[in-house]
Structure 1
């Protein structure tokens, strides 16, 4: 399920900030924790206490800002079983700092409300290299480092499940090696930048010139996303983490840009949209 499909840190009316829910035979995994992830899970009627794993792709605020708060919100909802989290270098330290930041509130609620200590319930682990980092009887998750300038500790994730393979690109500059990582996947969920938007942004925002350079250097245009999907031979391409993520760009415009280099199936993600594997022909 696509919980939040708008790229960037700004919180606005409309699409929520980046977050995804992957459910594999009853195991629930949250991928990225942009602002609003707890509310979006509630809107989807998914109990916060049912989350078993959290993955962070990189340490931009629109991907990790509600990481600690998601676990906190699960705790005050009755969480009693561990959540394991994985992400780039710094996640373990971030987790420790989060509990220090909220020490007064947490300790007060433990004593005053009889709640369990939440700290042992969040088990964080830094991912330091590409490769498989989580394997269960039901699924395997593999990390692949892809550049998101100036960030290098940034991971795409592949979920290999009994029903198929789905790959999430993370934020990334145009990276042909992602096509190799996603080769033959049932679904590729890839970020997308609508290039004409950048020109408008430069003209209307005070820091537009600098921000525009960042967007063009560190994200992938919809046209180049089409190149990745075509080279990977995926069954379905889904555009998410949209920049811009508002009504300035229609679905038809996104798809037309992708179609310049990709003739396969393509969809534009919407908040709370569900996708079920295996993908139907």
Structure 2
């Protein structure tokens, strides 16, 4: 046991939740003693607490792209951490435009924040946060952790990133939301764990019908901007990674499909250890 692990807090692809469904995308990476939050979909705050994390210890957050299922709860997470005792700085790395979200959130909560500063003696929440704009390359470098970013293929968005987290002993790669692209295989080469988004091809028509207020445009988006489970399996094999975890599952809330369907979808292309993600699963490294 190294003390390094990844906890998948939310494993559902897309922003909607329904009775019995899992939660949208968020994860906790514990590497070299650092607690790193990756994406802040709905449910991230409770997910972190359920992992035993003290919210006041938040210090490092990465947002892969500006789709709501990846950053909707960033503001509420930070505000809740603040009410739970946060008084130290938090660095948030995300795409261009994230600063506008944060400014809008602060304005929406201005009356509450000002009241708590005056009435409860809390520090200025706005002064605790620093937003760093993501681009390709090395985006964070400390002696015990290096984080690199690679622009993924997730149209119509351009600023969407895969992320590599490397310590002296372990490397974890997160695909982010992406269609298959060969550069990801080189980016993930030899990683101890690849966390890759995945769709079940046969389940998409039923999902489109269940969404109810979409159209064929939604299906077109899935097909041009995301990866099937077998695509994730091929990427993992070509990259020579040690383990593959499927997350951002589309669909994640259809009772007609379970872990065996995801396993069947990858078996012709991946024969290594497989984790079919579910909310709260902890993957030891």
Aligned to 2:84: 77
TM-score normalized with structure 2 length: 0.93
What are the ranges of 5 or more consecutive residues in structure 2 without an aligned counterpart? 1-6
User: 1:130-188 CA distances to partner (integer Å, 9 max, x unpaired)?
Assistant: 10010112110000001111111100000001231100000101112111110111110
Question: Aligned runs of 1:130-169 on 2, under 5 Å?
Answer: 130-169=136-175
**Distance across 2 between alignment mates of 1:206 and 1:31:** 29
Please tell me whether residue 92 in structure 1 is matched to residue 81 in structure 2.
no
The one of 13, 16, 19 aligned to 1:7: 13
Aligned to 1:115: 122
The one of 62, 67, 76 aligned to 2:74: 67
What are the ranges of 5 or more consecutive residues in structure 1 without an aligned counterpart? none
Aligned to 1:274: 282
Aligned to 2:4: none
The one of 16, 20, 25 aligned to 1:18: 25
**Distance across 2 between alignment mates of 1:192 and 1:54:** 23
Query: Closer, same or farther in 2 for the Cα pair 1:145/1:102, shift >3 Å?
Result: same
Query: Closer, same or farther in 2 for the Cα pair 1:206/1:69, shift >3 Å?
Result: closer
| Preserved contact between residue 41 and residue 72 of structure 2 (Cα < 8 Å) | yes
Please provide the CA RMSD for this pair: 1.3
* Shift of residue 206, structure 1, vs aligned partner: 4.4
* Shift of residue 203, structure 1, vs aligned partner: 4.2
| Preserved contact between residue 27 and residue 51 of structure 1 (Cα < 8 Å) | no
Question: Aligned runs of 1:198-217 on 2, under 5 Å?
Answer: 198-204=204-210, 205-217=212-224
Across the two proteins, how many residue pairs are aligned to each other? 276
TM-score normalized with structure 1 length: 0.95
